[in-house]
C-alpha cells in the first residue's frame, strides 16, 4: 500500500503539525511505502529533512496549470493508493486536481474546534474535543472518523556548548512560538517562576524557546524581562527548528499539545496552561483526562481543587526529591500509554484499510467550493 502525505506551508513551516507529520510518517514508513510533498507558497525545513520527503510544489493560488501538471506528475510517478492530507488547506487546494481513483484522508491536527471544515470521506483526529465536535455535526454524518492521539517518538536531546545546565538551578522550560496565540502561557510561566521563588527560596530559571511570530509581542516581552538573568529567551533558528532537543536543560516543562508528549517521553514533570488560571497546572493522575480531552491546550479549564492545590504541588517538585521522582515516573507512564507513536502504526493501517474498503460515495471535488477558494486566496496572499 502506497501512501502520499501532503501538507501545506504558508509561512515558516515549524508548527506542531509539521513535527507530527515528521514523526508519524517515519513510523508508518517502516511498514508501508510512503512519500511526502509540501504545497503552497512556503517551505518547511522540518519536512524537507524527513527521509521520505519527495518535493515541494509551489502554489500561489493562481499558477493553476503548472500546479495541476506538477500534482499529476507526482501521482503518476508514485501511484499512491491513498492521499493523506495533513491539514485541511492542503486538501482544499489539491482536491480539485485529483481524480476519484485515489482514496483521500484528512488529518485535523489538534487545535480548537473549527468554525468550518470541508466535508471529507475520511478524517483522522488527535483530540477527543475535536472528535465530539465532528460526530455531532450533520455535515460529517457519513465521514469515517478515527481518533489517533499518538503522535510522537521518544525525544533524543542534544547538549549544546552555548547552553549548559547548571546543577544547582531548577529549570522550567516553555517551548512556544512568540506571538499573540501563546503570550498568555508565556507570561503565566514567568509568574510561576516568580511565585515559586518566593515560596521555595530555591534558585530557579525559566527558558523560553520559540520562533518569533510577532515582533511587537516579542519586544513587549523583552521589555518585561529586561536585565533578568533568571529568564533566558532563545529564538535562533538553529535551536527553534528542533526545540525539543533543548529539553536537556529542563527539570519541568510547561507545554501544550505535542510539547506535553515530547516532555513526557523523557519523564519530565509536565505543566499546562488553563483559561481560568494565572499559573500553569501540574498534570497528574486526577486531571490528566480532563486536559487530554482539550489536547493540553490553552483551552484547558482547571477544577477548583486543581487551582487550590497546584502551587504547593509544583513547589514540592523542587523541595522533595521523592515526590519529583514519583511525578517523573507518572509522566513517562502517560507517554507510554497515550502518546507513543509506536502504538499508532496499527491504528493508521486500520484507517487506511477502512478508507480503501469503504463503499461510501466520494465527496465531489467542488464540495465546499468557497472554503477551497478561501485557501486559494490565502496562498496568493502569503506568496506576496
- pLDDT, tens digit, for every residue of 74-83? 999 999 999 9
Q: How far apart are CA 302 and CA 280, in angstroms?
A: 10
Beta-bridged to residue 85, according to DSSP, are 6, 106
pLDDT band for position 152 (cuts 50, 70, 90): confident
- Domain-ending residue, one of 322, 339, 356: 339
Neighbours of 133 (CB within 10 A): 17
**294 and 271 within one domain:** yes
- Pairing mode, if any, of strands 82-85 and 2-8? parallel
Nearest to 170 by CA among 333, 330, 320, 332: 320
Domain boundaries, position 226 = 170-339
Q: What is the pTM of this model?
A: 0.80
Query: What is the structure's pLDDT at 54?
Result: 97
How many domains is the chain built from?
2
Same domain? For 335 and 345 the reply is no
> Cα 357 to the chain's mean position, in Å?
30
pLDDT at 361 (0 to 100) = 63
Q: Establish if 163 belongs to a structural domain.
A: no
Q: Are residues 321 and 375 in the same domain?
A: no
In a domain? residue 160:
no
For the stretch 156-203, pLDDT in tens is: 998 888 899 988 999 999 999 999 989 999 999 999 999 999 999 999
Judgement on whether residues 148 and 199 belong to the same structural domain of the protein: no
Please indicate whether residue 377 or residue 11 has the higher confidence score (pLDDT). 377
- Grid cell of 205 as nine digits: 530559571
User: Nearest-CA neighbor of 8 among 49, 36, 40?
Assistant: 40
Asked if residue 329 and residue 206 are part of one domain, the reply reads yes
Amino acid at each position: 500500500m502506497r501512501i502520499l502525505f501532503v501538507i501545506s506551508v504558508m509561512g515558516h513551516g515549524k508548527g506542531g503539525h509539521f513535527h507530527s507529520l515528521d514523526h508519524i510518517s517515519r513510523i508508518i514508513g517502516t511498514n508501508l511505502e510512503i512519500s511526502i510533498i509540501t504545497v503552497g507558497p512556503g517551505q518547511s525545513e522540518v519536512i524537507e529533512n524527513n527521509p521520505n520527503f519527495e518535493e515541494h510544489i509551489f502554489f500561489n493560488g493562481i499558477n493553476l496549470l503548472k500546479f495541476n501538471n506538477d500534482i499529476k506528475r507526482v501521482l503518476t510517478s508514485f501511484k499512491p493508493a491513498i492521499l493523506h492530507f495533513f491539514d485541511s488547506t492542503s486538501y482544499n487546494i489539491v482536491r480539485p486536481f485529483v481524480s476519484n481513483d485515489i482514496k483521500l484522508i484528512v488529518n485535523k491536527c489538534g487545535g480548537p474546534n473549527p468554525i468550518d471544515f470541508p466535508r471529507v470521506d475520511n478524517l483522522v483526529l488527535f483530540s477527543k474535543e475535536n472528535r465530539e465536535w465532528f460526530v455531532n455535526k450533520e455535515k460529517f454524518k457519513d465521514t469515517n472518523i478515527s481518533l489517533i492521539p499518538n503522535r510522537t517518538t521518544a525525544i533524543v536531546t542534544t547538549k549544546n556548548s552555548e547552553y549548559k545546565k547548571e546543577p544547582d538551578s531548577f529549570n522550567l522550560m516553555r517551548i512556544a512560538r512568540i506571538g499573540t496565540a501563546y503570550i498568555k502561557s508565556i507570561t503565566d510561566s514567568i509568574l510561576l517562576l516568580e511565585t515559586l521563588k518566593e515560596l521555595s527560596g530555591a534558585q530557579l530559571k525559566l527558558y523560553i524557546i520559540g520562533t518569533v511570530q510577532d515582533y511587537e509581542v516579542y519586544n513587549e516581552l523583552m521589555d518585561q524581562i529586561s536585565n533578568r538573568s533568571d529568564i533566558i529567551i532563545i529564538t535562533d533558528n538553529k535551536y527553534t527548528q528542533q526545540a525539543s532537543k533543548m529539553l536537556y536543560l529542563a527539570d519541568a516543562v510547561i507545554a501544550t499539545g505535542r510539547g506535553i508528549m515530547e516532555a513526557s517521553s523523557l519523564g519530565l514533570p509536565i505543566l499546562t496552561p488553563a483559561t481560568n488560571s494565572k499559573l500553569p497546572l501540574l498534570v497528574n493522575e486526577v486531571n490528566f483526562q480532563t486536559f487530554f480531552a482539550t489536547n493540553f491546550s490553552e483551552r484547558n479549564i482547571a477544577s477548583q481543587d486543581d487551582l487550590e492545590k497546584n502551587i504547593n504541588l509544583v513547589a514540592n517538585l523542587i523541595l522533595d526529591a521523592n515526590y519529583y521522582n514519583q511525578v517523573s515516573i507518572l509522566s513517562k507512564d502517560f507517554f507510554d500509554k497515550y502518546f507513543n507513536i509506536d502504538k499508532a502504526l496499527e491504528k493508521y493501517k486500520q484507517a487506511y484499510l477502512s478508507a480503501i474498503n469503504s463503499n461510501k460515495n466520494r465527496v465531489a471535488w467542488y464540495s465546499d467550493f468557497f472554503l477551497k477558494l478561501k485557501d486559494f486566496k490565502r496562498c496568493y496572499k502569503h506568496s506576496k
